[in-house]
Structure 1
Amino acid sequence: MKSIKIKVCGMKDPSNIQALGLLNIDYMGFIFFEGSKRFVDKLAPLDIPLTPAIQRVGVFVNSDFRIIQEKIKAFELQVIQLHGNETLDLCRKVRDSGVTVIKAFGIDSEFDWSILPAYVPFVDYFLFDTKSNQHGGTGTTFDWRILENYNLQVPYFLSGGIGPHNIHGALQSSDPRLYAVDLNSKFESAPGLKDIELLKKVVKTIQHEQISS
Protein backbone atom coordinates (compact mmCIF):
# COMPACT_ATOMS: atom_id res chain seq x y z
CA MET A 1 0.00 0.00 0.00
CA LYS A 2 1.40 3.41 -0.97
CA SER A 3 1.60 5.88 1.91
CA ILE A 4 1.38 9.48 0.73
CA LYS A 5 3.14 11.98 2.99
CA ILE A 6 1.60 15.28 4.08
CA LYS A 7 3.37 18.66 3.89
CA VAL A 8 1.76 21.83 5.17
CA CYS A 9 3.53 24.93 3.92
CA GLY A 10 3.55 28.67 4.54
CA MET A 11 3.56 28.70 8.34
CA LYS A 12 4.59 31.85 10.21
CA ASP A 13 2.41 32.30 13.32
CA PRO A 14 3.89 30.71 16.49
CA SER A 15 0.59 29.57 18.04
CA ASN A 16 -0.63 28.28 14.67
CA ILE A 17 2.63 26.37 14.23
CA GLN A 18 2.26 24.81 17.66
CA ALA A 19 -1.32 23.72 16.95
CA LEU A 20 -0.38 22.24 13.58
CA GLY A 21 2.50 20.39 15.20
CA LEU A 22 -0.02 18.28 17.10
CA LEU A 23 -1.41 16.84 13.88
CA ASN A 24 -0.10 13.73 12.15
CA ILE A 25 1.76 15.44 9.31
CA ASP A 26 5.22 14.73 7.93
CA TYR A 27 6.60 18.10 6.80
CA MET A 28 6.05 21.72 7.83
CA GLY A 29 7.21 24.44 5.46
CA PHE A 30 8.54 27.93 6.25
CA ILE A 31 8.98 30.45 3.44
CA PHE A 32 12.17 32.53 3.50
CA PHE A 33 11.21 34.54 0.41
CA GLU A 34 10.38 38.17 1.13
CA GLY A 35 8.13 38.39 -1.91
CA SER A 36 5.70 35.88 -0.41
CA LYS A 37 2.62 36.79 1.64
CA ARG A 38 3.72 33.93 3.90
CA PHE A 39 7.26 35.20 4.46
CA VAL A 40 8.39 34.13 7.96
CA ASP A 41 9.46 37.71 8.71
CA LYS A 42 10.02 37.89 12.49
CA LEU A 43 9.63 34.18 13.21
CA ALA A 44 12.31 32.95 15.61
CA PRO A 45 13.75 29.42 15.82
CA LEU A 46 12.19 29.00 19.27
CA ASP A 47 8.77 29.57 17.68
CA ILE A 48 9.01 26.15 16.00
CA PRO A 49 8.72 23.53 18.78
CA LEU A 50 8.20 20.52 16.52
CA THR A 51 8.52 16.84 17.34
CA PRO A 52 11.21 14.87 15.46
CA ALA A 53 8.42 13.23 13.46
CA ILE A 54 7.79 16.47 11.55
CA GLN A 55 10.59 17.65 9.29
CA ARG A 56 11.28 21.37 8.95
CA VAL A 57 11.30 22.60 5.35
CA GLY A 58 12.85 25.92 4.39
CA VAL A 59 11.48 27.35 1.14
CA PHE A 60 13.82 29.64 -0.81
CA VAL A 61 13.54 31.49 -4.11
CA ASN A 62 16.79 32.33 -5.90
CA SER A 63 18.66 32.83 -2.61
CA ASP A 64 22.42 32.90 -2.12
CA PHE A 65 23.92 29.69 -0.78
CA ARG A 66 25.32 31.59 2.20
CA ILE A 67 21.84 32.73 3.25
CA ILE A 68 20.45 29.21 2.89
CA GLN A 69 23.29 27.89 5.04
CA GLU A 70 22.57 30.48 7.74
CA LYS A 71 18.89 29.53 7.88
CA ILE A 72 19.64 25.80 7.93
CA LYS A 73 21.77 26.33 11.02
CA ALA A 74 19.53 28.86 12.80
CA PHE A 75 16.23 27.00 12.26
CA GLU A 76 17.62 23.45 12.22
CA LEU A 77 16.12 22.87 8.77
CA GLN A 78 16.23 19.30 7.53
CA VAL A 79 14.79 19.92 4.06
CA ILE A 80 15.39 22.75 1.60
CA GLN A 81 12.83 23.50 -1.10
CA LEU A 82 14.24 25.53 -3.99
CA HIS A 83 11.31 27.25 -5.64
CA GLY A 84 12.98 29.61 -8.09
CA ASN A 85 15.33 29.33 -11.06
CA GLU A 86 18.17 27.80 -9.07
CA THR A 87 21.20 26.47 -10.90
CA LEU A 88 22.42 22.90 -10.84
CA ASP A 89 25.47 24.07 -8.92
CA LEU A 90 23.36 25.59 -6.16
CA CYS A 91 21.30 22.41 -5.88
CA ARG A 92 24.53 20.44 -5.57
CA LYS A 93 25.95 22.72 -2.89
CA VAL A 94 22.76 22.60 -0.83
CA ARG A 95 22.52 18.82 -1.05
CA ASP A 96 26.20 18.41 -0.19
CA SER A 97 25.54 20.39 3.00
CA GLY A 98 23.66 17.38 4.35
CA VAL A 99 19.99 18.29 3.90
CA THR A 100 17.26 16.84 1.72
CA VAL A 101 16.61 18.88 -1.44
CA ILE A 102 13.25 19.45 -3.12
CA LYS A 103 13.43 21.28 -6.46
CA ALA A 104 10.15 22.89 -7.42
CA PHE A 105 8.90 23.61 -10.93
CA GLY A 106 5.84 25.50 -12.12
CA ILE A 107 3.88 23.30 -14.49
CA ASP A 108 1.62 24.12 -17.41
CA SER A 109 0.87 22.56 -20.79
CA GLU A 110 4.00 24.18 -22.26
CA PHE A 111 6.43 22.93 -19.60
CA ASP A 112 9.74 21.65 -21.00
CA TRP A 113 10.25 18.28 -19.33
CA SER A 114 13.69 17.91 -20.92
CA ILE A 115 15.21 20.25 -18.31
CA LEU A 116 14.60 17.83 -15.44
CA PRO A 117 17.15 15.02 -16.06
CA ALA A 118 20.10 17.33 -15.34
CA TYR A 119 18.77 17.92 -11.82
CA VAL A 120 18.42 14.24 -10.93
CA PRO A 121 21.90 13.82 -9.34
CA PHE A 122 21.40 16.86 -7.11
CA VAL A 123 17.87 16.52 -5.73
CA ASP A 124 15.93 14.05 -3.61
CA TYR A 125 12.46 15.08 -4.78
CA PHE A 126 10.78 17.28 -7.33
CA LEU A 127 7.76 19.42 -6.50
CA PHE A 128 5.25 20.18 -9.22
CA ASP A 129 3.25 23.36 -8.65
CA THR A 130 0.99 25.54 -10.76
CA LYS A 131 3.07 27.87 -12.94
CA SER A 132 2.90 31.50 -11.83
CA ASN A 133 5.02 34.60 -11.49
CA GLN A 134 4.67 34.59 -7.71
CA HIS A 135 6.47 31.28 -7.09
CA GLY A 136 3.56 29.32 -5.63
CA GLY A 137 0.75 30.07 -3.22
CA THR A 138 -1.73 30.80 -5.99
CA GLY A 139 -4.46 28.47 -4.77
CA THR A 140 -4.84 27.33 -8.38
CA THR A 141 -4.61 23.73 -9.56
CA PHE A 142 -2.88 22.72 -12.77
CA ASP A 143 -4.17 19.91 -14.97
CA TRP A 144 -2.73 16.83 -13.27
CA ARG A 145 -2.96 14.91 -16.53
CA ILE A 146 0.11 16.87 -17.64
CA LEU A 147 2.14 14.68 -15.27
CA GLU A 148 1.68 11.82 -17.73
CA ASN A 149 4.62 13.47 -19.54
CA TYR A 150 6.89 13.01 -16.53
CA ASN A 151 9.14 10.05 -17.33
CA LEU A 152 11.78 10.08 -14.57
CA GLN A 153 11.86 7.97 -11.40
CA VAL A 154 12.49 10.78 -8.90
CA PRO A 155 9.51 10.91 -6.49
CA TYR A 156 7.58 14.17 -6.28
CA PHE A 157 5.41 16.40 -4.13
CA LEU A 158 2.12 17.50 -5.70
CA SER A 159 1.30 21.15 -5.03
CA GLY A 160 -0.99 23.91 -6.26
CA GLY A 161 -4.55 24.47 -5.10
CA ILE A 162 -4.98 21.19 -3.24
CA GLY A 163 -7.88 21.45 -0.81
CA PRO A 164 -10.82 19.55 0.67
CA HIS A 165 -12.61 19.71 -2.70
CA ASN A 166 -9.97 17.79 -4.65
CA ILE A 167 -7.84 15.88 -2.14
CA HIS A 168 -9.72 12.69 -3.00
CA GLY A 169 -8.69 13.03 -6.64
CA ALA A 170 -5.04 13.51 -5.67
CA LEU A 171 -5.09 10.41 -3.49
CA GLN A 172 -6.56 8.34 -6.31
CA SER A 173 -3.39 8.74 -8.36
CA SER A 174 -1.89 5.40 -9.30
CA ASP A 175 1.52 6.98 -9.88
CA PRO A 176 3.98 5.32 -7.44
CA ARG A 177 6.25 8.37 -7.74
CA LEU A 178 3.68 10.60 -6.00
CA TYR A 179 5.40 10.94 -2.64
CA ALA A 180 3.51 13.73 -0.88
CA VAL A 181 0.75 16.31 -1.15
CA ASP A 182 1.57 19.93 -0.35
CA LEU A 183 -1.23 21.79 1.46
CA ASN A 184 -1.25 25.55 1.73
CA SER A 185 -3.62 28.34 0.70
CA LYS A 186 -6.82 26.27 0.52
CA PHE A 187 -6.56 25.73 4.26
CA GLU A 188 -6.06 29.35 5.31
CA SER A 189 -8.20 31.96 7.01
CA ALA A 190 -5.48 34.49 6.11
CA PRO A 191 -2.07 34.18 4.40
CA GLY A 192 0.14 32.12 6.70
CA LEU A 193 -2.67 31.32 9.15
CA LYS A 194 -4.03 27.79 8.78
CA ASP A 195 -7.49 26.52 9.73
CA ILE A 196 -6.41 23.73 12.07
CA GLU A 197 -9.84 22.09 12.30
CA LEU A 198 -10.09 21.90 8.51
CA LEU A 199 -6.60 20.44 8.27
CA LYS A 200 -7.43 17.93 10.99
CA LYS A 201 -10.38 16.67 8.93
CA VAL A 202 -8.32 16.39 5.75
CA VAL A 203 -5.46 14.60 7.53
CA LYS A 204 -7.99 12.07 8.80
CA THR A 205 -9.40 11.72 5.28
CA ILE A 206 -5.95 11.03 3.86
CA GLN A 207 -5.19 8.45 6.52
CA HIS A 208 -8.57 6.74 6.13
CA GLU A 209 -8.30 6.52 2.34
CA GLN A 210 -4.83 5.00 2.57
CA ILE A 211 -5.89 2.45 5.16
CA SER A 212 -8.93 1.40 3.13
CA SER A 213 -7.13 1.31 -0.22
Structure 2
Amino acid sequence: MKYPANIKEVLSLKPDYLGFIFYKQSKRYIADLSPEFLSTLQAVNKVGVFVNDSVDRIRAVRYDYNLQAIQLHGDEDPVFVSELKDLDVPVIKAFGISQDFNWAQLNDYESLVDFFLFDTKSQAYGGTGQRFDWSLLERYVLEKPFFLSGGLDQENIATAMRMNDPRLHALDVNSKFEKSPGLKDVSLLRSAFPDSFS
Protein backbone atom coordinates (compact mmCIF):
# COMPACT_ATOMS: atom_id res chain seq x y z
CA MET A 1 0.00 0.00 0.00
CA LYS A 2 1.28 3.48 -0.77
CA TYR A 3 -1.61 5.79 -1.67
CA PRO A 4 -3.52 7.43 1.23
CA ALA A 5 -6.96 7.46 -0.40
CA ASN A 6 -6.63 3.84 -1.50
CA ILE A 7 -5.41 2.85 1.96
CA LYS A 8 -8.55 4.36 3.50
CA GLU A 9 -10.72 2.47 1.00
CA VAL A 10 -9.04 -0.83 1.82
CA LEU A 11 -9.37 -0.15 5.54
CA SER A 12 -13.14 -0.02 5.07
CA LEU A 13 -12.92 -3.75 4.27
CA LYS A 14 -11.42 -4.38 7.73
CA PRO A 15 -8.29 -6.35 6.79
CA ASP A 16 -6.18 -7.77 9.60
CA TYR A 17 -2.92 -6.48 8.10
CA LEU A 18 -1.70 -3.81 5.70
CA GLY A 19 1.79 -4.09 4.23
CA PHE A 20 4.12 -1.17 3.57
CA ILE A 21 7.28 -1.83 1.59
CA PHE A 22 10.43 -0.02 2.70
CA TYR A 23 12.62 -1.61 0.01
CA LYS A 24 13.55 1.14 -2.45
CA GLN A 25 14.03 -1.24 -5.40
CA SER A 26 10.41 -2.39 -5.17
CA LYS A 27 7.81 -0.88 -7.49
CA ARG A 28 5.58 -0.78 -4.40
CA TYR A 29 8.05 1.26 -2.33
CA ILE A 30 6.12 3.63 -0.05
CA ALA A 31 8.07 6.66 -1.35
CA ASP A 32 6.39 9.82 -0.04
CA LEU A 33 3.86 8.15 2.25
CA SER A 34 4.32 10.06 5.48
CA PRO A 35 4.97 8.64 8.95
CA GLU A 36 2.29 11.00 10.27
CA PHE A 37 -0.36 9.48 8.01
CA LEU A 38 0.56 5.89 8.90
CA SER A 39 0.65 6.71 12.58
CA THR A 40 -3.00 7.78 12.44
CA LEU A 41 -4.26 4.47 11.01
CA GLN A 42 -6.19 2.43 13.55
CA ALA A 43 -7.79 -1.03 13.82
CA VAL A 44 -5.25 -2.74 11.55
CA ASN A 45 -1.79 -4.23 11.96
CA LYS A 46 0.65 -2.16 9.92
CA VAL A 47 3.48 -4.36 8.63
CA GLY A 48 6.78 -2.91 7.47
CA VAL A 49 8.43 -5.02 4.77
CA PHE A 50 12.23 -4.90 4.58
CA VAL A 51 14.78 -6.59 2.31
CA ASN A 52 18.37 -6.96 3.55
CA ASP A 53 18.15 -3.70 5.46
CA SER A 54 20.06 -2.62 8.58
CA VAL A 55 18.89 -3.21 12.11
CA ASP A 56 19.20 0.51 12.81
CA ARG A 57 16.95 1.51 9.90
CA ILE A 58 14.36 -1.14 10.74
CA ARG A 59 14.36 0.01 14.32
CA ALA A 60 13.94 3.69 13.32
CA VAL A 61 11.19 2.98 10.78
CA ARG A 62 9.29 0.77 13.21
CA TYR A 63 8.95 3.67 15.66
CA ASP A 64 8.63 6.52 13.13
CA TYR A 65 5.73 4.82 11.32
CA ASN A 66 4.20 3.16 14.38
CA LEU A 67 4.41 -0.31 12.83
CA GLN A 68 2.79 -3.31 14.50
CA ALA A 69 4.88 -5.97 12.75
CA ILE A 70 8.12 -6.40 10.83
CA GLN A 71 8.44 -8.61 7.75
CA LEU A 72 11.90 -9.64 6.62
CA HIS A 73 11.77 -10.58 2.94
CA GLY A 74 15.46 -10.87 2.11
CA ASP A 75 18.40 -13.10 3.06
CA GLU A 76 18.41 -12.16 6.76
CA ASP A 77 20.19 -14.80 8.84
CA PRO A 78 19.19 -15.93 12.35
CA VAL A 79 21.76 -13.68 14.03
CA PHE A 80 20.29 -10.66 12.28
CA VAL A 81 16.74 -11.67 13.21
CA SER A 82 17.70 -12.10 16.85
CA GLU A 83 18.76 -8.46 17.00
CA LEU A 84 15.17 -7.37 16.35
CA LYS A 85 13.58 -9.20 19.28
CA ASP A 86 13.62 -6.12 21.49
CA LEU A 87 11.35 -4.22 19.08
CA ASP A 88 8.43 -5.86 20.89
CA VAL A 89 6.41 -6.46 17.71
CA PRO A 90 5.83 -9.69 15.80
CA VAL A 91 8.54 -10.62 13.31
CA ILE A 92 7.58 -12.39 10.07
CA LYS A 93 10.35 -14.09 8.09
CA ALA A 94 9.64 -14.75 4.43
CA PHE A 95 11.06 -17.60 2.39
CA GLY A 96 10.80 -18.23 -1.34
CA ILE A 97 9.54 -21.76 -1.96
CA SER A 98 10.58 -23.99 -4.84
CA GLN A 99 10.98 -27.72 -5.41
CA ASP A 100 14.51 -27.67 -3.99
CA PHE A 101 13.74 -25.53 -0.93
CA ASN A 102 15.62 -26.68 2.17
CA TRP A 103 12.91 -26.87 4.82
CA ALA A 104 15.44 -27.75 7.53
CA GLN A 105 16.80 -24.18 7.45
CA LEU A 106 13.61 -23.02 9.14
CA ASN A 107 14.69 -24.74 12.36
CA ASP A 108 17.25 -22.00 13.04
CA TYR A 109 14.54 -19.32 12.86
CA GLU A 110 11.73 -21.06 14.71
CA SER A 111 12.44 -19.55 18.13
CA LEU A 112 13.26 -16.11 16.70
CA VAL A 113 10.17 -15.29 14.66
CA ASP A 114 6.46 -15.16 15.29
CA PHE A 115 5.42 -16.23 11.80
CA PHE A 116 6.89 -17.56 8.60
CA LEU A 117 5.71 -16.32 5.21
CA PHE A 118 5.90 -18.70 2.27
CA ASP A 119 6.13 -17.00 -1.12
CA THR A 120 7.13 -18.06 -4.61
CA LYS A 121 10.90 -18.11 -5.03
CA SER A 122 12.28 -15.32 -7.20
CA GLN A 123 15.46 -13.34 -7.71
CA ALA A 124 13.56 -10.13 -6.93
CA TYR A 125 12.45 -11.09 -3.40
CA GLY A 126 8.80 -11.68 -4.21
CA GLY A 127 6.32 -9.82 -6.34
CA THR A 128 6.16 -12.47 -9.06
CA GLY A 129 2.39 -12.85 -9.08
CA GLN A 130 3.03 -16.58 -9.48
CA ARG A 131 1.80 -19.35 -7.21
CA PHE A 132 4.20 -22.00 -5.95
CA ASP A 133 3.21 -25.65 -5.67
CA TRP A 134 1.19 -25.71 -2.44
CA SER A 135 1.68 -29.46 -2.10
CA LEU A 136 5.24 -28.61 -1.04
CA LEU A 137 3.78 -27.40 2.27
CA GLU A 138 3.41 -31.07 3.20
CA ARG A 139 7.15 -30.93 3.87
CA TYR A 140 6.69 -28.21 6.48
CA VAL A 141 6.87 -30.00 9.84
CA LEU A 142 7.18 -27.15 12.35
CA GLU A 143 4.30 -25.77 14.41
CA LYS A 144 5.07 -22.12 13.72
CA PRO A 145 2.07 -20.41 12.02
CA PHE A 146 2.58 -19.01 8.54
CA PHE A 147 1.30 -16.51 5.99
CA LEU A 148 0.66 -17.84 2.48
CA SER A 149 1.72 -15.57 -0.37
CA GLY A 150 2.45 -15.72 -4.06
CA GLY A 151 -0.06 -15.54 -6.90
CA LEU A 152 -3.23 -15.59 -4.83
CA ASP A 153 -6.14 -14.61 -7.07
CA GLN A 154 -9.94 -14.91 -7.28
CA GLU A 155 -9.72 -18.41 -8.71
CA ASN A 156 -7.38 -20.03 -6.18
CA ILE A 157 -8.08 -18.02 -3.04
CA ALA A 158 -11.09 -20.15 -2.12
CA THR A 159 -8.87 -23.23 -2.29
CA ALA A 160 -6.34 -21.56 -0.05
CA MET A 161 -9.00 -20.60 2.48
CA ARG A 162 -10.14 -24.23 2.64
CA MET A 163 -6.62 -25.47 3.24
CA ASN A 164 -6.87 -27.86 6.15
CA ASP A 165 -3.81 -26.64 8.02
CA PRO A 166 -4.26 -25.03 11.45
CA ARG A 167 -0.88 -23.33 11.04
CA LEU A 168 -2.15 -21.20 8.14
CA HIS A 169 -2.51 -17.82 9.84
CA ALA A 170 -3.22 -15.40 6.98
CA LEU A 171 -3.36 -14.96 3.21
CA ASP A 172 -1.13 -12.27 1.74
CA VAL A 173 -2.88 -10.94 -1.38
CA ASN A 174 -1.08 -8.49 -3.60
CA SER A 175 -0.50 -8.17 -7.34
CA LYS A 176 -3.60 -10.04 -8.53
CA PHE A 177 -5.72 -7.51 -6.63
CA GLU A 178 -4.02 -4.37 -7.94
CA LYS A 179 -4.87 -1.82 -10.57
CA SER A 180 -1.20 -0.82 -10.59
CA PRO A 181 1.70 -1.49 -8.18
CA GLY A 182 0.64 -0.42 -4.71
CA LEU A 183 -2.92 0.52 -5.79
CA LYS A 184 -5.45 -2.09 -4.67
CA ASP A 185 -8.67 -2.84 -6.55
CA VAL A 186 -11.19 -2.53 -3.71
CA SER A 187 -14.13 -4.00 -5.65
CA LEU A 188 -12.03 -7.03 -6.57
CA LEU A 189 -11.01 -7.51 -2.94
CA ARG A 190 -14.63 -7.25 -1.86
CA SER A 191 -15.76 -9.87 -4.38
CA ALA A 192 -12.95 -12.25 -3.40
CA PHE A 193 -13.84 -12.18 0.28
CA PRO A 194 -17.66 -11.90 0.25
CA ASP A 195 -18.10 -13.64 3.61
CA SER A 196 -15.94 -10.99 5.30
CA PHE A 197 -18.33 -8.12 4.64
CA SER A 198 -21.90 -7.85 5.84
State whether structure 2 residue 116 is matched by structure 1 residue 119.
Answer: no
Give SS of 1:63's match. coil
State whether structure 2 residue 4 is matched by structure 1 residue 29.
Answer: no
Greater than 6 Å deviation, 4+ residue runs: none
Q: Distance in 2 between matches of 1:97 and 1:25?
A: 23
State whether structure 2 residue 7 is matched by structure 1 residue 17.
Answer: yes
Matching residue of 2:31? 41
Alignment of 1:52-71 (within 5 A): 53-71=43-61
- The alpha carbon displacement at 1:137 in A equals 1.2
Alignment of 1:86-97 (within 5 A): 86-97=76-87
Alignment of 1:1-213 (within 5 A): 11-48=1-38, 49-51=40-42, 53-205=43-195, 207=196
Give unpaired runs (5+ residues) of structure 1. 1-10, 209-213
Counterpart residue type for residue 96 of structure 1: D
Q: Distance in 2 between matches of 1:40 and 1:62?
A: 17
Count of aligned pairs between the two proteins: 196
Give SS of 1:120's match. coil
Counterpart residue type for residue 170 of structure 2: A
Q: Distance in 2 between matches of 1:24 and 1:12?
A: 17
Give unpaired runs (5+ residues) of structure 2. none
Deviations 1:146-205 (A, max 9, x none): 000000000000000101111111011101100100010000010111101111222324
Which stretch of the first structure deviates more once superposed, 119-128 or 13-22? 13-22
Matching residue of 1:7? none
